[in-house]
Amino acid sequence: MALKSAPIWVCSQKPQFHLGTPDFGSSHGRIILDLRPPKWECCGLGASVQKAVSPVEDEKPCTPGVKTSRTGKIDQAQNTLSRVFHKDLNLHPKILSKSNLSPFPHDGPNVRVAYQGSPGAYSEDAALKAYPNCETVPCDQYEAAFNAVELCLVDKAVLPIENSVGGSIHRNYDLLLQHRLHIVREVQLVVNYCLLGLPSVGNQEVKRVLSHPQALDQCEMRLSKLGVIRVSADDSADAARIVASSVERDMGAIASTRAAELYGLDILAENIQDEDDNITRFLVLSREPIIPGTDRLYKTSIVFSLEEGPGMLFKALAVFSLRDINLSKIESRPQKWRPLRVVDDHNKGSAKYFDYLFYIDFEASMADPRAQSALGHLQEYARFLRVLGSYPMDEAL
């Protein structure tokens, strides 16, 4: 018996959701999850589940040609067949219990995790926090990491989604919608920006500092005091690599402590960021969803668009408030396939407005009936609705 995929389980006492490719041109949204009456069922979310019970050999209760006696008793040939049929019960498939269903499938030492950047990047630190024994695979672009998972080159991808200082990373929000991967975990990483230099170089010798533009912006005050020239690089780890391969002693980099170890650089100063509480939130993506539970704190991420009309966003958000479900994140992005909407008012003429997609994180598991009820209610107002993932919250910093 093998569990081929880990679809989301839902218990439905509400209207039905079905997973499908969104029909953006229609006036009504496609449905995402399958909520059926009281029995627990499995919503595959695009993946198939192998049956847990396989047929037993010689499953026929009787065989043509087997004779019985006049008293109706089965003769010795039939008894032999019966003994063959009643095999050792230990060979039969075992019934799955909750303990068999890990929320993190395929998390062994052989898991391969893609990330954007060079070795030593903060994204690699996030991957190693989630999977300490994993094999990390660097990618040059965010989309390359998505593609690596879809093409089965790696098992998972770890990508940043927001920073407590810099805000949301919009490119990755757009990629979440364009690809059919599932969020299976989140990772919160405390960012420690370090000033790195060549061995035996002092702070005062550094005149140019390389790093990712966001890192340079978040260390603005310290860099201003040093009076250095800021030079942008593709990522912080790549900046450290460039400095390590250079012979120019006046060149430094802003990167992680791990990048300093990898490239043989000295740490001239630590925690040089302007804000002490600098935290980046990462998402772990997989081809298969996990089975959400209620044994720990869970978060669910969704994306939807709304029908036209006054107060529609208020009504959409109210479905969570009515069920005491806390919203931890809301992000809006213009719909690229329908950027403008024309609204006609006979008294005031016509006007053009942006049409938006709304990304929401709420603190509840899809195994929670409140979450199922909320999404069933939201469907009344949504033109399109998709569950991106239901996954355990990261509470450790």
* Sign of the C-alpha dihedral computed for residues 133, 175, 179 and 378 taken in this order: positive
Catalytic residue among 17, 146, 282, 362: 282
Q: How many CA atoms lie within 13 A of 252 on its CB side?
A: 29
Q: Is 280 a catalytic residue?
A: yes
The rounded distance, in Å, linking the Cα atoms of 140 and 242 is 16
Per 3-state DSSP, what percentage of the chain is helix, strand, and coil (rounded to 5)?
A: 25, 30, 45
Q: How far apart are CA 130 and CA 37, in angstroms?
A: 36
- The CA distance from 338 to 356, in Å, is 9
Residue 220: what are its φ and ψ, rounded to 5°?
-55, -45
User: Which among 275, 272, 166, 265 is positioned nearest to 224, based on CA atoms?
Assistant: 272
- Catalytic: which of 17, 104, 146, 280? 280
CB contact burial 112-137 (16+ within 10 A = b; e otherwise): bbbbbbbbbbbbbbbbbbbbeebebb
Q: Which two tokens stand for residue 77?
A: 């040939």
Give the C-alpha separation, 67 to 336, whole Å: 74
Q: Answer yes or no: 294 catalytic.
A: no
Half-sphere exposure (CA, 13 Å, Cβ side) for 253? Answer: 32
**What residues are annotated to the active site?**
280, 282
